[in-house]
Structure 1
Amino acid sequence: MAILSLRDILLLCFCVLIHFIYRNRRRAVIPYPPGLRRWPIIGSALSMPLTYVHVFYKNLGDKLGTKIIYTEAFGQEMIFLNDARIAKELLEKRSGLYSSRPEFPMVAEIVDAGIFFGFVPYGDSWRHQRRIFTQYFSLKNQSLVEEKATQFVRKCLLSNIYQNPQDLDEHIRDCMGGFSTSLTYGLPTKRHKDPLVLFAEDVFTRVVAASTPGNFLVNIFPVLKHIPEWMPGAGFKREARDLRKEVHRFMVEPFQAAQKSMGGGTRPDCFVAESLERNQDRKEFELRTEDIQRVALQVYGAASETTVSATRAFVLAMLKYPDVQKKAQQELDSVLGLDGLPDFSDKPHLPYFGAVLKEVIRWNPVVPLGLPHYTVADDVYEGHYIPKGCTIWANAYAMLYDESIFPNPTEFSPERFFKNGVVTDDIPNPEELATFGFGRRICPGAHVALSMLYIAAASLLAVFDISPALDEKGDPIEVEAKFVAASLVSSPQRFKCKLTPRQGKNVGGILKDYINGEII
């Protein structure tokens, strides 16, 4: 390696060897879970994938006949859980041992992971920030979430598609980003290519990349964080320095804009405004400005990137399975009539459409491995040794593609959630089984993402038909259902499709009140 001297390499190998010896003494005679073949010092590094990790360990578990897999590379130990029962036993029932987070060298040490409480180790700082988040996103504000989601879907997503149906991916991102901006900061948002939305998307894309183990060597070899920035191979430090500035800018500038709007006598309905008012009234506990700024970033992240991926997966499913699309549209029409748009009061009357959304979530788990947990003490599970300082991945993909629970898992089939024509509880709900994590680290913004997915998907089917795009000869372009998972997030690879106003519906008339104007 050009970035390390021979002395540094020898020192690294020596430290790993000492760790290897100590670890094996510590575990005594209790065996590790099954896993990849390991070699001294390097462990299983040569056999471990950097992309589609969730698929690799699902297949490995099937091959080995196990639902819990151990692997290790250069002294870093990891366990993959391919079964929801095991994940609940460890991450929920034994949450005191499993609720922390591992170190993300590129994020935690260089970008400052304290800014994103999802990365923060279990403790007072994490509890404080999560409390701020959940105070706002409680049932009392659910109606506001639904109102804003509906507004952005109608004024941004549907209207933009109606006027320019070619740029579907951009329209989805504009809608989800604008919704997140409004929900977090209450700021006016342009319907198309809003500067703040574009900036935020770039920042979060880079942060996700920084947290992905294979993208930067420092995430594999934390010792590299000590090398000078001028050395060859230290490009990650320059990236981190630049990203730190951008994250700080995103943390401060929209927050200040929200403060300014409040000073003008207008109180926007948003997370920042309510948190500042609560702090002014000193209700329950005091908040620092920095606390509100940091949690605001998490609010934005929870409401944006995952809903983009889920909505794109929904469109892909409707494109690949036209019979499902037609059946869902018939149900929507029976409830809404020809000229109606869905709202949240319609949801209980749409059982088949609800099953479609369950299947979307199962078919493409947006964060297939979740965020990793971290053990704070040694443990033993069903005769297997789980060491302190081990990174634990709950493989949601493996759980939602378990053939014993979901037969033919690669097929998109909402019918799997029905029995004798009625929704059945015999099949687990993917939303509750594995999609949003486990234990104390379960995603606190799940209901926000689900609300936006529901109203976006229902509205799209209510007014548009989704069909294959045509090539130059007028023939349908075949689309493959393939998901890209080079980072923590899984999303359909780019695909072409055609969205057209549904025959017999006056879509222009339905959308006439939403097509123009600024979104707030």
Structure 2
Amino acid sequence: MLFDQVIDTFSIFGSRLDGFPNVISIILAVGALALIADYGYMLWMRLKMPPGPLPWPIVGNTFMLPDNKPWIWFEELSKKYNVPLVTVWIGRNPTVWINDAWTASEIFEKRAGIYSSRPRMLVFAELGAGQSNLVNMYTFTPSQRDRWRVHRKLMHHGVGVQQVRRYRDFQNNESKTVAYDLLSSPEDYVKHFERYATSVVSIIAFGRRVESSQDPIITEVIASMHLAADLNVPGKSFPMLMETFPLLAKVPNAIAPWKHGLGRKRGFPFFYALADEAAHNGSHEDTYVKHVFGEKEKYNLDVNEISALTGNLFGAGSDTSSSTLITFILACVAFPETLVPAWEELDRVVGTQRSPGWEDEEQLPYIRAFVKEVLRWRSVAIIGGQPHAPTQDDVYKGWFIPKGTWIQGNVWAIHHHDREFPDPDRFNPGRYLTGSEDSRPFPNEKGYMTFGWGRRVCSGQALAEQGTWITVARLLWGFNIEKKRRADGSLVEVDIFDYTNGLNMRPQPFECSITPRSEEIRKTIEREGKQALEELEQYRGETKYRMSTFYQKNELLFKQYMGQK
């Protein structure tokens, strides 16, 4: 009896499953048709867009990307297809890479009205800095463009071309302290450069300098900048793999280790706390954060916008500037022959009783050329910063570029094109000397595209160029920078290709020797350094906040400020 009931139960259940295989077959068939249609669309778009490798269904070219320095691969693709720009598919989304200076100028400069927006950036923007950040803002609609202009205007008040000349006194003094510090601890040149660049930005923003290389503003903030720089380099590993598989971004953070801590929205960010502290407690009236808070009501700025505006100052002026100076040291060590003309010019124009100043710039053409070659040779923002996106469909030389497409300038390829820069990996200031046989035409008067293009050019360009010139000139004047000699007399070699893999690249650590060129110059550096520290005393100060403990200690403040939004 019981056996018969069991048989009957299984018979009823089986009858209900009779149609189940048909349902699965239908689902699979629909899925296959959708996949075929989607892949067909990708191939159709590929025929219209700039050439590139054949994408695979769903994943595109993601798994063809090299593990390191993809910008070199993009450069090689341009050579393979003999075109100035190529298309690489990240998942189902095409990315156009420009590998030619003239093409970058025509698209980003001459068509700036179309190519000044940002595309959707899942990792860097939506899970990271967000749309409250000038760097990521869309400009597809009039309201978006208006908000972007507000942020750009506020940023220009901090580091615009007209503003940075006002900072020359303390920037010059901070540069003198770098030379002074190198007398006692030349092996710590990286720390000295990071302290210098961060201190200049801190004075601009908060009216407070950074005195020590151990200050948390350096050790923690620059580390966070390095992390952010790693988030927007195309790759086939997490977190950038979420750009290929965006559904993975929807998985809760608690069970999604591939998010690397992204996507945690905080209502009272660290940079807002620094800004609020300096704006309401700082002794200096003419600071960037006081200006921003003064404009808060006028432009209805919220917590995240003020935080982003403050943080962007550090992004525009600290990590990038220090990395450029490290590259300068590497160039000196690897190409010592370029130092001799610099010393001859500086000795003739400046002498030994003072270091060079901005008033000497017109009389130092070789030093100007030297600085330009530093900025060209190993540019920090090696893929031109964040991608641009056209606000409408466009056609360039017969190639279709759809609205919203990622389009990015490959600064590495642009600065290593042998048409403009023969023997591009050789550090050669002669490229920038008028009448030199090494000089070649370039689409802009600067001769490099280090800071990006058009309306999205780096906000901190003028500050970075100003600071790089005075510091490079001073260090060339003051020091012999050369390979380190071991105890057995052998030299420590350096590798000019050994750079980090982030969006803002810098040389991997290397050893070198940095010594004063003469006793007279050493005494001048010491005298000027001590005087500079006295003049910088007015900017002494310290923040009570630490990024490493901030978010744990201020949970209540987060909730309060989130409630006010």
With the shorter chain as reference, the TM-score category is 0.7 to 0.9
For residue 20 of structure 1, what is the aligned residue in structure 2? Answer: 39
The letter for the 2-side match of 1:255 is: A
The letter for the 1-side match of 2:422 is: P
For residue 364 of structure 1, what is the aligned residue in structure 2? Answer: 378
Post-superposition shift, 1:350?
0.7
* Residues 16/483 of structure 1: CA separation in 2 closer, same or farther (3 Å cut): farther
Q: Name the CA distance, whole Å, in 2 between partners of 1:287 and 1:102.
A: 23
* Match for residue 150 of structure 1 among 169, 172, 184: 172
Post-superposition shift, 1:169?
1.1
* Residues 68/368 of structure 1: CA separation in 2 closer, same or farther (3 Å cut): same
For residue 4 of structure 1, what is the aligned residue in structure 2? Answer: none
For residue 326 of structure 1, what is the aligned residue in structure 2? Answer: 340
Q: Name the CA distance, whole Å, in 2 between partners of 1:343 and 1:268.
A: 27
Post-superposition shift, 1:478?
1.1
Q: Deviations over 1:144-195 (max 9, x none)?
A: 232222121112x112211211111111111111112112211242233212
CA contact (8 A) 1:357 1:454 kept: yes
Q: Name the CA distance, whole Å, in 2 between partners of 1:339 and 1:78.
A: 54
The letter for the 2-side match of 1:74 is: G
* Residues 367/248 of structure 1: CA separation in 2 closer, same or farther (3 Å cut): farther
**RMSD, matched Cα:** 2.9
Query: How is 1:384-399 mapped onto 2 (pairs within 5 angstroms)?
Result: 384-399=399-414
The letter for the 1-side match of 2:280 is: K
Q: Name the CA distance, whole Å, in 2 between partners of 1:45 and 1:290.
A: 33
1:240 has 2:240 as partner = no
For residue 6 of structure 1, what is the aligned residue in structure 2? Answer: none
1:351 has 2:365 as partner = yes
* Match for residue 215 of structure 2 among 173, 194, 216: 194
1:256 has 2:276 as partner = yes
Post-superposition shift, 1:39?
2.9
**DSSP 3-state at the match of 2:261:** helix
**DSSP 3-state at the match of 2:463:** helix
Moved more, 307-316 or 192-201: 192-201
* Residues 288/390 of structure 1: CA separation in 2 closer, same or farther (3 Å cut): closer
For residue 227 of structure 2, what is the aligned residue in structure 1? Answer: 206
Moved more, 35-44 or 287-296: 287-296
1:120 has 2:122 as partner = no
Q: Name the CA distance, whole Å, in 2 between partners of 1:202 and 1:323.
A: 34
CA contact (8 A) 1:185 1:271 kept: yes
Post-superposition shift, 1:107?
3.0
CA contact (8 A) 2:92 2:244 kept: no
Number of paired residues? 499
For residue 297 of structure 1, what is the aligned residue in structure 2? Answer: 311
Q: Name the CA distance, whole Å, in 1 between partners of 2:287 and 2:34.
A: 50
* Residues 484/425 of structure 1: CA separation in 2 closer, same or farther (3 Å cut): closer
Q: Deviations over 1:403-435 (max 9, x none)?
A: 111111111111122355699784566845422
1:32 has 2:46 as partner = no
Q: Name the CA distance, whole Å, in 2 between partners of 1:11 and 1:211.
A: 35
Q: Name the CA distance, whole Å, in 1 between partners of 2:443 and 2:99.
A: 15
Taking every aligned residue pair, what percent have the same amino acid on both sides?
Answer: 26
CA contact (8 A) 2:180 2:525 kept: no
For residue 392 of structure 2, what is the aligned residue in structure 1? Answer: 377
**DSSP 3-state at the match of 1:318:** helix
Moved more, 96-105 or 59-68: 96-105
Q: Name the CA distance, whole Å, in 2 between partners of 1:141 and 1:364.
A: 27
1:499 has 2:514 as partner = yes
Post-superposition shift, 1:385?
2.0
**DSSP 3-state at the match of 1:69:** strand
CA contact (8 A) 1:361 1:431 kept: no
Q: Name the CA distance, whole Å, in 2 between partners of 1:381 and 1:33.
A: 9
CA contact (8 A) 1:97 1:377 kept: yes
Q: Deviations over 1:366-421 (max 9, x none)?
A: 11211211233322221222223321011122111111111111111111223556
1:219 has 2:219 as partner = no
Q: Name the CA distance, whole Å, in 1 between partners of 2:508 and 2:38.
A: 41
Q: Name the CA distance, whole Å, in 1 between partners of 2:29 and 2:288.
A: 51
Q: Name the CA distance, whole Å, in 1 between partners of 2:474 and 2:189.
A: 14
Q: Name the CA distance, whole Å, in 2 between partners of 1:11 and 1:462.
A: 72
